[in-house]
Amino acid sequence: AWVVTKRSELCEACASQGACKVLGGGKEMEVEAINAAQARPGDQVLLTLEDQSLVKLSFLVYLFPILALLVGAALGQKLASFFTINPEMASFGLGAIAFGLAFVLLKFKDRKLERTGQTIPKVARIIKEG
């Protein structure tokens, strides 16, 4: 089902942005959802996203790139003495590479999650029939 809803700040970090279409003025958007409640056009519905999916998505979007940056920087610091290069440059370079790779991996993970339907909201119930 396609549900018209309002865009919020949480939308900016959502892994399923591709499933939403912004309408007219940019505040309203259409969201693709699994119609578990058998809602009809005009019904007001409650959309839900599984807590486990929300926690997983939050970790992936917010923490994974930062952890990759820190691990890359620490690894660059350690490898600098082994290769006799400037530790700051090695730390910066490897940290930046790890940070970039984290976003590439996130893109692949996003496609996989989208195919399995884990990031697609569900129409939980009908609040008001249209």
Q: How far apart, in Å, are the Cα atoms of 24 and each of 6, 7, 14, 27, 127?
A: 12, 12, 21, 8, 25
Angle of CA points 87, 75, 111, to nearest 5°: 130
Does the structure show a pLDDT above 70 at 21?
Answer: no
pLDDT digits (tens, 9 = 90+) for 51-105: 666 677 778 888 999 999 999 999 999 999 888 899 999 999 999 999 999 999 9
For the ranges 36-40, 54-58, 115-119, the one whose mean pLDDT is highest: 36-40
Question: pTM of the full predicted structure?
Answer: 0.59
What are the φ and ψ backbone dihedral angles of 126, each rounded to 5 degrees? -90, 125
